[in-house]
Structure 1
Amino acid sequence: MTSDIRGRSATEIADSVRALIERAHLRPGDALPPVRSLADELGVNRNTVVAAYRQLTQAGVVVTRGRGGTRVADLSPVAQEGFAPDSVLRDVGTGNPDPNLIPDISPALASMAGRPVLYGEPVIDPGLEQWARGWMARDLDADDLRLTITSGAADAVERLLAQALTRDDAVALEDPCFLTSIHTVRIGGYRAVPVPVDDEGMTVGGLRAALEQGVRAVVHTPRAQNPTGASLSAERAAQLRDVLRDHPYVLVIEDDHFSMLSQQPFHSLISPGHRRWALVRSVSKFLGPDMCLAVTASDRETAERLAMRLTPGTTWVSHLLQRLTHALVTDAATAASITRAGAHYASRNAAFVSLLQQHGLEAAAGDGLNLWLPLPVAARAVSEQLMRRGWLARAGDEFVLAGDEPSQRLRLTVHDLDDADAAQLAADLAGAVAAARGRALVREVG
């Protein structure tokens, strides 16, 4: 391989590697030569090769993996949320809210009228700002809270990371993790450091280990973690704040995506003394995915940097969308429907867990739209058996950051099933597990 790379300067070597990648002579995942061997082959100083690899890393062309060496970056997309395209199977892995529980926006549209907003005017609609400040401030112990409006939570998280990090910086992510977070970190060229999640949220030991590895940002979900449904307990939140106390400049991003629908209290990792932080709340889960708007509360410096990241592109989120959001969230009927929706998701998930238990499958109904089902065998084997029975589910492998072992979890979205379909799915799950277990035993015997 070394004979294919040319150059005497760092720039020439980096350009040679990029040309090999463009011509598919080097493919995603391929290892580049060790620094010493390439330097010897080219007859250059090792620092020249180090500089070339640094240029490639900063450009996102390669990634460094410590003892795993330097490899061509794999930019293949990760799995995405939503319905599977072109499937005739009943999809129970969508992660979607129930469209029948999304409030009707028609009555609120009449209240959106107002004069046009022009360039240079305040980017946050005054009515939404006043409401959002109260919404965020009641859960934060912050003296100088700043607000930013973005086009959804994913947009906020991406820009928050971009204003604080450079390529190859380390980011602590929950493991298993929300698919959009995995995608954001991968495309940004950051290094994901997995932090295990249990029933009370991020583990203390996991966060401590991530900080020891030099993470510059932590992205976590305080409640209704996707995919596990875990929510931070008060005790766990206090323990994690203690761990973060010695790292006040690590950016802590809290993605409270389920907010108004959650059946759990909000507990934060952000302590009064923390210097870099942001709490993000979108409206997509309770007002619908097409209401692409999120409110971010943050410290002054983070807000100023976030504003700079917004300036080159869309300076503001449409004031029409902001006014519509404000009209909906301040409407008593809409608030009541959101409360009913949250109770519905919780009750349907709990009812399905009861059905599973009748078939000998143990599970717990966490918070959120989904169930995280433990299995006695590999999830993909069960998923394949479910497909034979007409169901399409998501195997946990898509959400896992660390570990090479096949996942033994399924993420299920069952809240929109009627009683008959829920009973059928529970029975089919039990049958799929039995069939997958039988096939596994046959392979072991064979």
Structure 2
Amino acid sequence: MSLLYAHGKTAANIADSLLDALRSGALQPGDALPAVRTLAQQLAVNPNTVAAAYARLRYAGRVVTDGRRGTRVVGTPARMAQAYAVPTGLRDLASGNVDASLLPQLQGGAAAWAALASSASYDAPADLPALQSEARQWLTAQGLPCGEIGVFSGTLDAVERALRVHAHPGDRVAVEDPCWPPLVALLHSLRLKPVPLPVDGEGLCVPDAGVLQGCAALVLTPRAHNPTGAAISPARWKALRHQLQALPRLLVVLDDHWGPLSATPLAMAASLPPLWLHVVSVSKFLGPDLRVALATGTPALLQALRAQQALGPRWVSRILQGLAAGLWRQMREGSALAQAGGSYAARRQALVQALAAQQVVLAPGEGLHLWLPVADEAAVVQSMASRGWAVQAGTPLRLASAPAVRVSLGECRPTDMPRLAADLVQALRTPGRAVF
């Protein structure tokens, strides 16, 4: 690196000169910075001064230090892939939308909660007691401790705050593979490195010894994994927790997105790891536009998340909290939650059985999605489109796992399953061909 890029005698001046080089384009993403001692000799300063300058840049998320690879300029943050536009005339099994007919309808009770919340002042409690009560009742039924509950603007908001509190740019975060694409995009934006861990019919596979030891956090789905539908079995959790107990500083984030619609007990409820965060969103059972998620976890972590939130948005709209509380109570008291969960389960079971009748066997699971291994994703997607169905190619959801397609059941009924299964089998048997 040319001396023109770095100058100064203090850590602040050296860091500022490198930032100027980044802004001007003289330093590009991926470029290596000199070793600390090399640059110290060039600038005639103490190596500790250069080390402090590099530390400033790491804290700002502009460089990462990675063992023998040294210190490098971070790459450009990954952007979310463009949303897939379902072609006109196709049945949408790709977007992952819930069935709108299973969502609650706004009635007087929910409207009254919203009106009550809207009268709150700046100095009112940030979290609406009615929503706290609903959440506490459900969390207790799941076997989870809920001494403190935070309200956030969706799952990603809670997860992002937890990672900002606990991890630093350059840290590794273990994730399921396949996984939810927005999570991977979030990790890249925070300059965190995803470490893919495979998933099978019993949920997240236990990694080799040492893999988690090098990670700052682990994000996993305890049940209804997107996209496979798998739940972590008690035996799998026992083996995984054995590793986690030896890693008290590893943050374990439980993304329980299917939560109140699930019929599967939480395998980890009675044996939580030392540092944990459980997040449940209302998106799947009340509707995605509410943008409300509830989190509970290790007390010190929850307090840090709430303190960070207080410095920014301060609270989630109490009108939204009131609507969520009223609609949740309405769903619970009218047994609509159980009916919605049962409806999705019936669709999944009908499709799994129809596929099994044609010798396509899938692992058990629950939730909106099925994950079908394929030889050629594009060929299967095109074949299904020719039969009137839009399914999701697996590429955006995969890090290192094998090709597959995701089929979402929000816009299907059990009566659709024989035809859907027959079309899927034909698509799976359709060979891909090269086009020159």
TM-score if structure 2 supplies the norm length?
0.85
Are 1:130 and 2:133 counterparts?
A: yes
Whole-Å Cα distance in 1 between the matches of residues 391 and 42 of structure 2? 51
Q: Which amino acid aligns with 2:139?
A: M
Contact 1:131 1:326 in 2 (8 A): yes
Partner residue, 2:286? 287
Q: Which amino acid aligns with 2:427?
A: A
* Cα distance, 1:358 vs structure 2: 4.6
Whole-Å Cα distance in 1 between the matches of residues 77 and 295 of structure 2? 28
Are 1:380 and 2:383 counterparts?
A: no
DSSP 3-state at the match of 2:289:
coil
* Cα distance, 1:288 vs structure 2: 0.4
Partner residue, 1:175? 177
- Which structure ranks higher in relative contact order (CA pairs < 8 Å, sequence separation ≥ 6)? 2
Whole-Å Cα distance in 1 between the matches of residues 155 and 7 of structure 2? 45
Contact 1:379 1:395 in 2 (8 A): yes
Whole-Å Cα distance in 2 between the matches of residues 241 and 101 of structure 1? 36
Partner residue, 1:344? 343
Q: 1:167 to 1:145 in 2, by over 3 A?
A: same
* Cα distance, 1:227 vs structure 2: 1.4
Which stretch has the larger CA shift, 91-100 or 107-116? 107-116
Which stretch has the larger CA shift, 381-390 or 257-266? 381-390
CA RMSD in angstroms, aligned pairs only: 3.3
Contact 1:253 1:279 in 2 (8 A): yes
Whole-Å Cα distance in 1 between the matches of residues 386 and 48 of structure 2? 57
Partner residue, 1:103? 104
Partner residue, 2:206? 204
Are 1:400 and 2:398 counterparts?
A: yes
Q: Which amino acid aligns with 2:102?
A: L
Whole-Å Cα distance in 1 between the matches of residues 356 and 26 of structure 2? 53
Contact 2:144 2:269 in 1 (8 A): no
1:227-266 matches, within 5 Å, as 227-266=227-266
Whole-Å Cα distance in 1 between the matches of residues 24 and 367 of structure 2? 45
Whole-Å Cα distance in 2 between the matches of residues 270 and 319 of structure 1? 32
1:410 to 396, 402, 405: 405
CA offset digits 1:392-445 (Å, max 9, x no partner): 3322222223x3x7x3211111342356765554444334333335x37x99xx
Are 1:355 and 2:350 counterparts?
A: no
Residue ranges of structure 1 left out of the alignment (5+ in a row) = none
Partner residue, 2:94? 93
* Cα distance, 1:256 vs structure 2: 1.0
Q: 1:51 to 1:425 in 2, by over 3 A?
A: farther
* Cα distance, 1:210 vs structure 2: 2.9
Q: 1:397 to 1:86 in 2, by over 3 A?
A: closer
Partner residue, 1:158? 160
Whole-Å Cα distance in 2 between the matches of residues 26 and 422 of structure 1? 55
CA offset digits 1:214-241 (Å, max 9, x no partner): x222221110111121101122222222
CA offset digits 1:31-88 (Å, max 9, x no partner): 43664898499677877766555444432334455566635413131337xx623743
Whole-Å Cα distance in 2 between the matches of residues 226 and 185 of structure 1? 17
Q: 1:341 to 1:134 in 2, by over 3 A?
A: closer
DSSP 3-state at the match of 1:114:
helix
* Cα distance, 1:303 vs structure 2: 1.8
Whole-Å Cα distance in 2 between the matches of residues 347 and 203 of structure 1? 27
2:76 to 69, 74, 80: 74
Whole-Å Cα distance in 2 between the matches of residues 44 and 140 of structure 1? 61
1:133-148 matches, within 5 Å, as 133-140=136-143, 142=145, 145-148=147-150
Whole-Å Cα distance in 2 between the matches of residues 66 and 378 of structure 1? 38
Are 1:312 and 2:314 counterparts?
A: no
1:41-60 matches, within 5 Å, as 53-60=54-61
Q: Which amino acid aligns with 1:167?
A: P
Q: Which amino acid aligns with 1:409?
A: A
Contact 1:237 1:269 in 2 (8 A): no
* Cα distance, 1:282 vs structure 2: 1.2
Contact 2:175 2:195 in 1 (8 A): yes
Partner residue, 2:225? 225
